[in-house]
Amino acid sequence: LRLGLPEVIYAEGKTPEQVAEIFRRMADRGGAVLATRAGAEAWNAVKAQVQDAEYHALARVIGLRERHAATLHLGPIAVVCAGTSDLPVAEEAAVVAEYLGVKVSRIVDVGVAGLHRILSQREALAEARAVIVCAGMEGALPSVVGGLVAAPVIAVPTSVGYGAAFGGLAALLGMLNSCSPNVTVVNIDNGFGAAYVAAMMLRAGAKSA
Amino acid sequence: LRLGLPEVIYAEGKTPEQVAEIFRRMADRGGAVLATRAGAEAWNAVKAQVQDAEYHALARVIGLRERHAATLHLGPIAVVCAGTSDLPVAEEAAVVAEYLGVKVSRIVDVGVAGLHRILSQREALAEARAVIVCAGMEGALPSVVGGLVAAPVIAVPTSVGYGAAFGGLAALLGMLNSCSPNVTVVNIDNGFGAAYVAAMMLRAGAKSA
Amino acid sequence: LRLGLPEVIYAEGKTPEQVAEIFRRMADRGGAVLATRAGAEAWNAVKAQVQDAEYHALARVIGLRERHAATLHLGPIAVVCAGTSDLPVAEEAAVVAEYLGVKVSRIVDVGVAGLHRILSQREALAEARAVIVCAGMEGALPSVVGGLVAAPVIAVPTSVGYGAAFGGLAALLGMLNSCSPNVTVVNIDNGFGAAYVAAMMLRAGAKSA
Amino acid sequence: LRLGLPEVIYAEGKTPEQVAEIFRRMADRGGAVLATRAGAEAWNAVKAQVQDAEYHALARVIGLRERHAATLHLGPIAVVCAGTSDLPVAEEAAVVAEYLGVKVSRIVDVGVAGLHRILSQREALAEARAVIVCAGMEGALPSVVGGLVAAPVIAVPTSVGYGAAFGGLAALLGMLNSCSPNVTVVNIDNGFGAAYVAAMMLRAGAKSA
Amino acid sequence: LRLGLPEVIYAEGKTPEQVAEIFRRMADRGGAVLATRAGAEAWNAVKAQVQDAEYHALARVIGLRERHAATLHLGPIAVVCAGTSDLPVAEEAAVVAEYLGVKVSRIVDVGVAGLHRILSQREALAEARAVIVCAGMEGALPSVVGGLVAAPVIAVPTSVGYGAAFGGLAALLGMLNSCSPNVTVVNIDNGFGAAYVAAMMLRAGAKSA
Amino acid sequence: LRLGLPEVIYAEGKTPEQVAEIFRRMADRGGAVLATRAGAEAWNAVKAQVQDAEYHALARVIGLRERHAATLHLGPIAVVCAGTSDLPVAEEAAVVAEYLGVKVSRIVDVGVAGLHRILSQREALAEARAVIVCAGMEGALPSVVGGLVAAPVIAVPTSVGYGAAFGGLAALLGMLNSCSPNVTVVNIDNGFGAAYVAAMMLRAGAKSA
Amino acid sequence: LRLGLPEVIYAEGKTPEQVAEIFRRMADRGGAVLATRAGAEAWNAVKAQVQDAEYHALARVIGLRERHAATLHLGPIAVVCAGTSDLPVAEEAAVVAEYLGVKVSRIVDVGVAGLHRILSQREALAEARAVIVCAGMEGALPSVVGGLVAAPVIAVPTSVGYGAAFGGLAALLGMLNSCSPNVTVVNIDNGFGAAYVAAMMLRAGAKSA
Amino acid sequence: LRLGLPEVIYAEGKTPEQVAEIFRRMADRGGAVLATRAGAEAWNAVKAQVQDAEYHALARVIGLRERHAATLHLGPIAVVCAGTSDLPVAEEAAVVAEYLGVKVSRIVDVGVAGLHRILSQREALAEARAVIVCAGMEGALPSVVGGLVAAPVIAVPTSVGYGAAFGGLAALLGMLNSCSPNVTVVNIDNGFGAAYVAAMMLRAGAKSA
Ligand SMILES: Nc1ncnc2c1ncn2[C@@H]1O[C@H](COP(=O)(O)O)[C@@H](O)[C@H]1O
Ligand SMILES: Nc1ncnc2c1ncn2[C@@H]1O[C@H](COP(=O)(O)O)[C@@H](O)[C@H]1O
Ligand SMILES: Nc1ncnc2c1ncn2[C@@H]1O[C@H](COP(=O)(O)O)[C@@H](O)[C@H]1O
Ligand SMILES: Nc1ncnc2c1ncn2[C@@H]1O[C@H](COP(=O)(O)O)[C@@H](O)[C@H]1O
Ligand SMILES: [Mg+2]
Ligand SMILES: [Mg+2]
Ligand SMILES: [Mg+2]
Ligand SMILES: [Mg+2]
Ligand SMILES: [Mg+2]
Ligand SMILES: [Mg+2]
Ligand SMILES: [Mg+2]
Ligand SMILES: [Mg+2]
């Protein structure tokens, strides 16, 4: 059913050996492979077994592109976040989207407390077929971005913050109650899921045209 | 920015007179108009002022189509729910989507406790460019549907249930933790938002093709 | 200690007779009197006893100005909210502030999903010595306003919204985690408290100059 | 009252020496003994004192079978889970059930996002007199299994997942709200309790026949 | 698959006419029918259409027995509760169990604050093949009963209580953490579910003998 | 006001040196001194400075008795708990009570799942002027004890348990909803507070006689 | 066991007829009888059947004193609250205590925001053998009172407040974390329970003297 | 817009090298710089690069004063807390306020359980133009202080406490429900934010005079 989509390993809670072993087995079948939530040790174990794999340290993603496969040129989408703390989640989204054949434009350092920064990116946003917005603390950025674009916004609450941030709960609730009607939400820190949904939208859209 | 999209009134907490007054003012501008969460009294007030308006009682939506506007033929999407209790939310999604120019295929009465029913709808699901799934109680239906389609799934938790359903919280949490990666989530009972996001996806997809 | 500040009655849960009786007793002492959360029936009972009292229906506040007292001319402050649903709380804040001797500039209908509206009010905001921002749902407005002003922002979460708004909890958490460092928070729907704090700030500031 | 049932030690929070000492004392009485939540160090301490004890590393269970006791042949039951992360809890359930005299059929790797896998196990499920289903994240598997069998389903939410999984809370709430009426629930990660209840059912059923 | 089990209507949120209409349609097929959460008005509507239906007011259950069907004689089970407030839930469990062919022994007025009452029922409890225990407030009764029987205990938290009972949450959490290992739990106020599980256990046990 | 009561140091979060320094300073004044939540390192630091101090390892309490002070002979009270896991909290309560001049009778290993054990202690309970009951998991023991005595019961929820025990929340809620009217509650794991309240009761009672 | 204590009916959720019937039956046995949470209708039903019963409207308590019984003269205790909203709970405590033979001194209108009022009551507080403190909102009063007396403080959180008061939860948590070590807590709005515990303390103290 | 205010780095979750690098870059621009939540290692990295920086260990703040800048003499404000555990948060507030040009008077060791201590500070409080109150556990101190001053109170809940303190939630809720109307609240442990708001008040007040 999902021809062309990579196999994805969730590396959290698996030993480096387990990750490497599953990765190699999937790579042998010839398609694309991804491992998310993968630390340096998992990467060391994988690269010893799968020559062409690549590591994206900030995103904590190990990837292997499909050989001889015609790349789908979907998108572009924008991946947006406010600051350095949200970057790992944003990068997980961006890197996964790229492996799924989607062109990504990264827009970082655009918090709601300094509107000029997000406003200065309106052109880049206007080109996006979908926008992924990662935000912690009060999670207000998706509402602001939602008002600036005529495209779906996939909001990713992050666990960034302290105290009454409650590990991402404040951002999650904020996003679910967004006053911008084009906003949907995935799980806290789930950059992978946001990328996957964005790719699905673009593929389904491409088919339907 | 959002040319062609109807103006939307959230009728909850407004008096019938207020709803009718806002509705008429918007109708006078010539575009499409929608009022969601509108009861029979709001409808009575609106129809006295705006001749061509229509009422969708189960969905609690009052609508007015744009005159002389070329209908966009987007979609189709599927709107899926398990039972009679979730129908009002599903109908809000379906009716709003139709006003937004999207063809809708309704698939009701397909709970996860009787898989043959959802399995017998696989063909209809395969045609959908996006699927809206409304579910209360444990909210498991989006995960099951997510595994059956290669399209984005917009999950709408409903406040159906009692006790530990906690007004839709159980369904909401379930959907946010879906093991199907193509699932995103909107607020509890927010059929309107799900339809809006689906329409946005199809429009952005259409542009991008 | 608090010379010049009116006595304040919290009318919720008191009978109209009780409110009127307390109000009259306080009025007899000659100072200013306020009753908040006062419905039409409480108002009817009070006006029968205290001739000079006034009713602010939207704010649900009954007030009596101090006779012969020199009005303090503090402020101005701005009271900001996004839409019609938040208006009662915003009006409670604005009316109470005025009884406390503060000049108020009302800025309504400025949601974060349409930034041009709040941006077009920058001048009015710049004049404010303090800003009260009332917002329900995701409660993102105080962060945006906080970034536009060099003054303290007092955020009032409102119970507007449904589902995962959880009666104002989503807005409250959002505001507590605001990325604008000049934001403080009062209880859900507590327009009165926000006005009181703003007046205190201005009085303390006036003294200190 | 509970003749024939093993003594059970909850090893969490006890030192290896304490576990070994209690285990040996119980073993000396001649009946079966179990220790759950037992790590490698507890096992090393126990095997130095009780020769015939066995260790089930994945389940983290140390067991000693009753000598000369006629094995009860109850069941079979099925123990079902979706993936590798839920395996430790599923194995705790399976191993404990076996020590309680119940035949167990393990069905793993059957998530709700790929229904063909659980559907291909319908025969094995049909034979089961009770089914234990362990699932984390959205916890939807018990509802699906509940619809496939005419037997009681004991659902075990696991703490697998992140973000809005809230340590198993999402799965727990989902299971409590199951739309399959044959589902009951035990505590998060409580594989032991599920096995115990299943054994109780079969024993009580055997008596009643 | 579930031959012999009645069809069950959840009457909450349906109009009396809807309940009566569904009830009659099901009755026409000749099997047993149940409607739970059915008030007096639903009952009036049903009895006008289905002659042989019966109403159990305290349990709020409308039932119709299968004609010519050989009654299964399963059980007995015990249904236990502490006081008058929990009686409606206990009666829902007891009445539904009886329609499912299970013999029921009712043990009421046995709270944990007066142990002699539950201790004086030990004989009746010993005969039970399964025990359903309904309790609100602190929900301690299932643990105590669990220690007195060698049978599975199905605990039903009720929404009885105030303040920190939080609508049954305190009882629910208590039961999930029961120190009696033979306790499982269903949703708050879910007497129906408890009866269904008990019947499933006895049927599966009967088959397996 | 509190003549005769020891000074109490809460050692958690203080360095061993800080604890020792404060302890010595208080000891120099000649009265009794207590430090709770004190680990081995705090004890080593204290004993180097205060010769007559004593350490109660299980209770994690360091104590120094008042020199030449006539011991008050209050009580007796009973300190009750179910198992080894709750012992540290129970011992904190018992040891602190003894330093406060109260005679303590320890009753351990009496869970609600085996009623004979608590019933066999009825005589010891009957003598108690107040009973402190420490319990984790479902926290049902205070209700049972409350029904057996004509004295106040001070319930201490403990953080013992896992999953839906939520760090003592389940036990706390259970105790607050106790159906025994003679039960009051202190904070989770607060053995110290329970002892202090018990001593206060006995002192106030002694005065009043 | 509890000779001399009245029987207590919890009237909430019982019909006036049920309350009257139970009340009369208990009264016939000759001892004292109490009904709490009793509205005007329950009172009308009771007084028609039991001549000597009395109604305490603010406390919502119906009482009947024991005939010919020597009144125990326990106490005095103080019942303290901040304002009119907490009065019904405070009165429930005070009236129940009086029926239990305890002398009560009422101290009302003493909030923590105006310390002079509570400080001016220090003498009355010093005489109390136990103090019941009822407070809603932030629930700070028990801590302040706890620091002023050398007697046990029984804190009753009330459901007074709005927004983040969450029906008494804020007050409950505050009281459980009181920095005054002589504070214990009962359920939200449970004036009855506080009175019962206070009476138990005094009786147990009396015995022990 | 914010001329004269220092740049602020949130050091938590940044490597010492990152903090030092950002700090040096900002220092090069010539204005004041602050880093909050900075441990000893961050400090070591910063001081190697920026000669004039200073470290406030208890506050965990690294600061650099603006060269040649005329110091603003705002205030004074008071920073109040109850005990040693709250000191780090109070010091973060005090030190940040001083860098923002505000004179600070520290009032520590004034808990609500010993009112004489806070009452003895009434003079110092009376001089304050704003008061920052840091408190954990039940968070009652801001209400008491709020009643003693005619100035705004900025309440900082701290994560000090255990059990039902729930990481500062109890204090947060208490402060939001303060019965003193001059109280506003910032996030748990957010001493920085409280100082920033206080400085903003004084600056806005100064302008308005
Ligand atoms: N059912 C609904 N749920 C959530 N948002 C809605 C709903 N219906 C309308 N809206 C949003 O509410 C806005 C109008 O709100 P109002 O101005 O209060 O009528 C619209 O722009 C929509 O984005
Ligand atoms: N994994 C487990 N989860 C919950 N309860 C358990 C578990 N293992 C053992 N128990 C229960 O804990 C009791 C023993 O506790 P203990 O005396 O602390 O070793 C046994 O009787 C069991 O009922
Ligand atoms: N206001 C109250 N709050 C909590 N428990 C109460 C209250 N009033 C009475 N009770 C308890 O409820 C029991 C009677 O319950 P019932 O049999 O339902 O009338 C009495 O024995 C009391 O322990
Ligand atoms: N302790 C703190 N708590 C909350 N916000 C802070 C804190 N310290 C600095 N900030 C804010 O965090 C921003 C800098 O964040 P960053 O760019 O990640 O260093 C500053 O502008 C401040 O508004
Ligand atoms: Mg939305
Ligand atoms: Mg997903
Ligand atoms: Mg802030
Ligand atoms: Mg069920
Ligand atoms: Mg169990
Ligand atoms: Mg009680
Ligand atoms: Mg205490
Ligand atoms: Mg306030």
Cβ neighbourhood burial of B142 (10 Å; 0-12, 13-18, 19+)? buried
B36 lines ligand 1 (CB under 6 A): yes
- D194 token code pair: 């599920």
pLDDT at B185 over 80: yes
D158 CB within 8 Å of a chain B CB: no
pLDDT at C126: 95
Amino acid at A28: D
**Closest listed residue to residue B198, CA positions, set B180, B208, B186:** B186
Per 3-state DSSP, chain F is made up of helix, strand and coil in percentages (nearest 5) of 40, 20, 40
Q: What is the number of CB-based contacts under 8 A between chain E and chain F?
A: 120
Nearest CB neighbour to H139, from listed G119, G148, G174: G174
| D to E CB pairs, distance under 8 Å | 113
What is the least distance, in Å, from the CA of H147 to any CA of chain G?
4
Atom of ligand 1 nearest to the CA of B92: 1
Between residues A90 and H84, which one has the greater pLDDT? A90
Asked if E13 lies within 8 A of B162 by C-beta distance, the reply is: no
Residue of G162, G166, G169, G189 to mutate when probing chain C, most C C-beta within 10 A: G162
Q: Which chain B residues are closer than 8 Å to E169 by Cβ?
A: 164
Confidence at residue F209, expressed as pLDDT on a 0 to 100 scale = 45
Query: H or E element: which one contains G78?
Result: strand G74-81
Q: In a structure prediction context, what are the per-residue pLDDT tens digits for chain F, which is 209 residues long? A: 344 688 899 999 899 999 999 999 999 998 899 999 999 999 999 999 999 999 999 999 999 998 655 566 898 999 999 988 999 999 999 999 999 999 999 999 999 999 999 999 999 999 999 999 999 999 999 999 999 999 999 999 999 999 999 999 999 999 999 999 999 999 999 999 999 999 999 988 776 54
User: Does residue C76 have a cis peptide bond before it, meaning omega lies within 30 degrees of 0?
Assistant: yes
ipTM of predicted assembly, 2 dp: 0.95
Q: Determine whether the interchain pair D115/B114 forms a contact, defined as Cβ–Cβ distance below 8 Å.
A: no
Residues of A in contact with D84 (CB under 8 A): 14
pLDDT at H140: 96
Two structure tokens written together for F98: 């003894």
- The pLDDT, as a whole number, for residue B72 is 63
Q: How far apart are CA D60 and CA D83, in angstroms?
A: 18
Atom of ligand 2 nearest to the CA of F84: 18
A184 in C contact zone (CB under 8 Å): no
Contact C162 B12 (CB under 8 A): yes
Predicted local confidence at residue H207, as pLDDT = 64
Distance CA A18, CA A10 (A): 11
pLDDT at E114: 92
**CA-D190 nearest atom, ligand 2:** 3
What is the C-alpha to C-alpha distance for residues A75 and A206, in angstroms, rounded to an integer? Answer: 10
Predicted TM-score (pTM) above 0.80? yes
**Residue E44 CB neighbour total at 10 angstroms:** 12
User: Measured between CB atoms, which of H184, H205, H209 is closest to C184?
Assistant: H184
Closest ligand 2 atom number to CA of residue E179: 23
Cβ–Cβ of D185/E181 closer than 8 Å? no
Residue whose Cα lies nearest atom 20 of ligand 4: it is H8
- In angstroms, the separation between the Cα of residue F69 and the nearest Cα of chain D is 40
Reply yes or no on whether the pLDDT at B1 is more than 50: no
- Give residue E66's pLDDT: 80
Contacts of B48 (CB under 8 A, 6+ apart): B20
> H helices of A50-152, where?
87-99, 115-119, 122-127, 141-148
C-alpha distance across the termini of chain D, in Å: 20
Residues B33-45: pLDDT tens digits?
A: 999 999 999 999 9
* Spans of chain C, pLDDT less than 50: 1-3, 209
Question: Which spans in chain H are helix H?
Answer: 16-28, 40-47, 87-99, 115-119, 122-127, 141-148, 169-176, 191-208
Structural tokens at position G24: 């009369």
Cβ neighbours of A168 in D, within 8 Å:
163-164
Going by pLDDT thresholds of 50, 70 and 90, the confidence category of residue H209 is very low
Q: What's residue G8's pLDDT?
A: 94
Percent of chain E exceeding pLDDT 70 equals 93
Protein residues placing their CB within 5 Å of the ion ligand 10: F 178, 183; G 186, 193
| Interval G82-105 mean pLDDT | 95
Q: Which residues of B touch A193 (CB under 8 A)?
A: 181, 183-184
Of F13, F18, F188, the CB nearest to H164: F188
Question: ω before B76 within 30° of 0 (cis)?
Answer: yes
Task: Report d(CA H128, CA H139) in Å as an integer.
Answer: 21
| Rounded to 5°, angle at Cα G32 from G29 and G36 | 115
Give the closest of F111, F140, F146 to E174, CB-based: F140
Task: Using CB atoms, list chains with 3+ pairs below 8 Å to chain B.
Answer: A, C, D, E
Let me know if F30 is exposed, middle or buried by CB neighbors in 10 A (0-12, 13-18, 19+): exposed
Could you tell me the pLDDT band of residue H31, with boundaries at 50, 70 and 90?
Answer: confident
Q: Note whether C164 contacts B188, CB cutoff 8 Å.
A: yes
Nearest CA residue ID for atom 18, ligand 3: G10
> H or E segment at B183?
strand B183-185
Query: Atom 15 of ligand 1 has which residue's CA nearest to it?
Result: B10
Cβ atoms of H131 and H77 within 8 Å: the answer is yes
CA H20 to chain G, closest CA, distance in angstroms equals 40
Comparing alpha-carbon positions, the chain B residue that sits nearest to C138 is: B187
Average pLDDT over residues G68-73: 63
Residues B148-159, mean pLDDT to the nearest whole number: 97
- Nearest by CB to residue G189, choosing from E85, E160, E162, is E162
Q: What is the largest CA-CA distance in chain D?
A: 50
> Could you give phi then psi for residue D152, rounded to 5 degrees?
-70, 140
Contact residues, H window 127-146, toward C, CB-based 8 Å cutoff: 129-130
- Chain E hits for G189, Cβ within 8 Å: 162-163
Judged by a CB distance cut-off of 8 A, whether residue D172 touches chain F is: yes
Confidence (pLDDT) at C205: 73
- What does the pLDDT read at residue H20? 97
Query: What pLDDT shows up at residue B123?
Result: 94
Phi, psi of G32 (to 5 degrees): -75, 150
CA E163 to chain centre: 26
H/F Cβ contact: 3+ pairs below 8 Å? yes
Give me the long-range contacts of A21-26 (CB less than 8 A, separation at least 24).
Answer: A21/A49, A23/A49, A23/A50, A23/A53, A23/A62, A23/A64, A24/A49, A24/A50
For ligand 1, whether the C-beta of B8 sits within 6 Å is yes
- From the number of C-beta atoms within 10 Å of its C-beta (0-12, 13-18, 19+), residue F67 rates as exposed
Helix (H, G, I), strand (E, B) or coil at F18: helix
Alpha helices, H only, D64-190: 87-99, 115-119, 122-127, 141-148, 169-176
For range B47-67, the mean pLDDT: 95
- Which residue of chain F has the CA closest to G186? F184
Measured at the CA of E185, the angle between CA E11 and CA C165, to 5 degrees, comes to 65
At residue E41, the pLDDT reads: 98
Better-scored residue on pLDDT, E39 or B1: E39
3-state SS class at D49? coil
* A188 interfaces chain D, CB cutoff of 8 Å: yes
- Ligand 4 centroid–CA F197 distance in Å is 43
Task: Say which of H13, H18, H188 has its CB closest to residue A163.
Answer: H188
Strand partners, D131: D78, D153
Peptide bond into G76 cis (omega under 30): yes
Give residues with Cβ within 8 angstroms of D115, minimum separation 6: B115, B119, B144, B147, B148, D144
Strand G33-36 and strand A102-107: the pairing is: unpaired
A100 SS3 class:
coil
DSSP output for E97-159? HHHTTEEEEEE-S--TTSHHHHHTTHHHHHH-SSEEEEE-TT--HHHHHHHH-SS-EEEEE--
d(CA D182, CA C58): 52
Residues linked to residue H56 through DSSP beta bridges, in sequence order: H61
Ligand 4 atom 15: the closest Cα is on which residue? Answer: H10
Whole-number pLDDT of residue A2: 42
CA distances from C16 to C9, C43, G55 (A): 12, 8, 24
Q: Determine, for residues E159 and B163 on separate chains, whether the beta-carbon distance falls below 8 Å.
A: yes
Angle at E102 between CA E97 and CA E105, to 5 degrees: 85
Residues of chain H numbered 88-127 and touching chain C (CB < 8 Å): none
* Token pair of A162 as six digits: 């302290």
Is some CB atom of chain B closer than 8 A to the CB atom of A37? no
Q: Measuring CA to CA, how many Å separate E192 from each of B164, D176, E36, E184, H142? A: 15, 13, 8, 15, 50
Q: Kindly report, residue by residue over B89-137, the tens digit of the pLDDT.
A: 999 999 999 999 999 999 998 999 999 999 999 999 999 999 999 999 9
Q: Whole-angstrom Cα distance, residue G11 to residue B54?
A: 50
**What does the pLDDT look like over B17-31, one tens digit per residue?**
999 999 999 999 988
Measure C100 CA to ligand 9 centroid, in angstroms. Answer: 59
- Spatial neighbors of G170 by CB under 8 A, at least 6 apart, are G137, G138, G139, G161, G164, H170, H173, H174, H176, H177
Q: What is the pLDDT of residue F1?
A: 32
Q: What is the pLDDT along chain D (209 residues), one digit of tens a residue?
A: 344 688 999 999 899 999 999 999 999 998 899 999 999 999 999 999 999 999 999 999 999 998 655 566 898 999 999 988 999 999 999 999 999 999 999 999 899 999 999 999 999 999 999 999 999 999 999 999 999 999 999 999 999 999 999 999 999 999 999 999 999 999 999 999 999 999 999 988 776 54
The closest residue, in CA terms, to atom 10 on ligand 3 is: G10
Tell me, using a 6 A CB cutoff, whether residue B93 lines ligand 1: no
- Compute the distance between CA of residue B139 and CA of residue E12 in angstroms, rounded to an integer: 19
Q: How far is the CA of H175 from the centre of ligand 12 (A)?
A: 8
Number of CB pairs, chain A paired with chain H, less than 8 A apart = 23
Residues 6+ apart with CB under 8 A from D77: D97, D102, D103, D104, D105, D128, D129, D130, D131, D132, D198, D202
Record the tokens describing residue C68, joined without a space: 């012969």
Q: How far is the CA of C178 from the centre of ligand 5 (A)?
A: 21
Q: Cα–Cα distance between H156 and F81 in angstroms, integer?
A: 37
Q: Which of A25-39, F65-79, H144-158 is least confident?
A: F65-79
Q: What per-residue confidence (pLDDT) applies to A49?
A: 96
Could you tell me which chain D residue has the CA closest to the CA of E76?
D208
Complete DSSP assignment for C25-91: HHHHTTS-EEEES--HHHHHHHHTT-TT-EEETTTTEEEEPPTTPPPP-EEEEEEEESSGGGHHHHH
Distance CA E129, CA E206 (A): 11
Q: What angle do CA H40, H44, H47 make, to 5 degrees?
A: 130
Is the predicted pLDDT of residue A205 greater than 80, yes or no? no
| Chains A and H, touching by 3 or more CB pairs within 8 angstroms | yes
Burial (CB count <10 Å: 0-12, 13-18, 19+), residue C46: buried
**Average pLDDT over all residues of chain B:** 93
